Amino acid sequence: MKIKEIIVVEGRDDTTAIRRAVEADTIETNGSAINAETIEKIRKAHETRGVIIFTDPDFPGEKIRNTITQHIPGCKHAFVPKELAKPKYGRGIGVEHASPETIREALRDAHMMEEEAIEEITQEDLLAAGLIGGPGAKERREKLGLLLKIGYANGKQLHKRLMMFQVNRTDFAAAMAQIFEEEQDA
């Protein structure tokens, strides 16, 4: 599988994992303190070939994703679930631990955030669905992020992410129905 866009990752190990899974070029941010030179490289890549931001499913990865998005709107985003980004042995979490198939799937599902977000799902909908406040909210948000392929978001960020990815009521309702069904079966 050849990827036209340049994939933005955090480090050398992520580049190695990406190249095991697909044929692609990468830009490494080398951590969450992205310098102006790296931002300019990413901007140039976005203008010429397009960019897919593929950072680790953790706080620093989210910080990098947000920094790039602020400077360069219109990039695609790929997400790997936390449980598929853990090493077989040891600690840590990151793209470098994901299997080639998980990486390929995340890249196939990469999508763009909309700059002009339309609110289809309200804060009240999130509260009613048990996604913010209350027992089990974090676990439901994790499952929702997986099902909708938008990555995990905390309670404050979920509403914004749903709007940015233009998740519609039908897809939201279907995902929540699946989550509630799984909870009943457990």
- 92-119 tens-digit pLDDT: 899 999 999 999 999 999 988 766 667 8
From residue 142, alpha-carbon distances to 11, 80, 131, 164, 176 in Å are 25, 12, 10, 17, 12
Q: What's the average model confidence in pLDDT over 137-161?
A: 91
Beta bridge pairs of residue 2: 23
Model pTM? 0.75
Mean pLDDT of the chain: 92
- Nearest Cα to Cα of residue 169 among 117, 114, 119: 119
